[in-house]
Amino acid sequence: MVPKARVAAYKVYWNTRRYDHYILAAFDVDVCRMVCKVISLSVGGVVKPYYLDTISIGSFVAIDHGVFVSVSASNGGITVMNVASCVCADCM
């Protein structure tokens, strides 16, 4: 239990579709307004190059501002779908 803890939830899926701009907006609200110190993101998608991957871009900015980012690896079998090194290595 954390005294004075606050949970902020943001909707990034609409009608079974994920919109990347909603994910970036959620990162923006958390990071720029200093709403939280931890972001837990559990959304999946197709693997993209880092410069096109919304989760990698948002996570990198959050980590740069001192926010811990935890992102799910996917549940599509034994392979890892989230390979963004900035999400794992820079937080530790």
Q: How many domains does the chain have?
A: 1
The burial class, CB within 10 Å (0-12 / 13-18 / 19+), for 33 is exposed
Has residue 7 been placed in a domain?
no
Distance CA 45, CA 37 (A): 25
- Residue range of the domain that includes 17: 13-91
Locus of tokens 């990162």: 27
pLDDT tens for residues 1-46? 778 777 778 877 777 776 788 888 888 887 777 777 888 887 766 7
Distance CA 3, CA 28 (A): 25
Q: Give the model's pLDDT for residue 39.
A: 84
The mean pLDDT value for 61-68 works out to 87
Has residue 31 been placed in a domain?
yes
Has residue 1 been placed in a domain?
no
Has residue 4 been placed in a domain?
no
